[in-house]
Amino acid sequence: MPFAGDLIHFDLACGVGTDGHWRGWYTVRVDADGLLALGLHPDQPTSVITAPSPPRWWHAAAERNAERRPGG
């Protein structure tokens, strides 16, 4: 794992949902210092958009391909 043990925290909450089924919720918190090493901290210049967005047809094709299942 790329994070030191004291930079990342996991929490799990469980309970019965409104439909009567058990549900679980995970919360993952990473200290900002841990994100710096990966270039993911919002204050770093690499975390901002540096190029134009792909054209609309590219997004539409990606959504179509995401809906397809292998072998189908």
Q: Domain ranges in the chain?
A: 8-67
Tell me how far apart the alpha carbons of residues 34 and 18 are, in angstroms, rounded to a whole number: 36
Q: What is the pLDDT of residues 45-62, one digit of tens each?
A: 665 677 788 888 888 888
31: left (phi over 0), alpha (psi -120 to 50) or beta: beta
Extract the runs of DSSP E, i.e. beta strands, from the chain: 8-16, 22-30
Residues of the chain with pLDDT below 70 are: 1-3, 44-48, 69-72
pTM > 0.75: yes or no:
no
pLDDT value, residue 72: 46
CB 11 within 8 A of CB 27: yes
